Amino acid sequence: MTASVAIILSYLIGAVSFSYVIGQKVKKLDIREHGSGNAGATNTLRVMGIGPAITVLLLDCAKGIAAVWIGYLLSGGDSMIAAASGLASIIGHNWPVYYGFRGGKGVATTIGVLAALVFLPALISGVIAILMIIITRFVSLGSLLFMLGTTIITALFYEYFDFPFYFVYFLIVITGLSFWKHRTNIKRLLTGEENKLGQKASVNE
Query: What is the pLDDT at residue 199?
Result: 60
Does residue 93 contact residue 104 with C-beta atoms inside 8 Å? yes
pLDDT the model gives residue 200: 55
Neighbours of 92 (CB within 10 A): 26
Cβ atoms of residues 65 and 115 within 8 Å: yes
Q: Tell me how far apart the alpha carbons of residues 178 and 188 are, in angstroms, rounded to a whole number.
A: 16
User: Which strand (E) or helix (H) includes residue 16?
Assistant: none
Q: From first to last of its 205 residues, what are the pLDDT tens digits of the chain?
A: 789 999 999 999 999 999 999 999 988 899 999 888 888 898 998 889 999 999 999 999 999 999 999 999 999 999 999 999 999 999 999 999 999 999 999 999 999 999 999 999 999 999 999 999 999 999 999 999 999 999 999 999 999 999 999 999 999 999 999 999 999 999 999 998 888 876 654 343 3
* Predicted local distance difference test score (pLDDT) of residue 162: 94
Closest by alpha carbon to 37, among 28, 47, 27? 47
Listed by start position, the domains of the chain span 2-191
Half-sphere exposure of 19 (CA within 13 A, CB side): 39
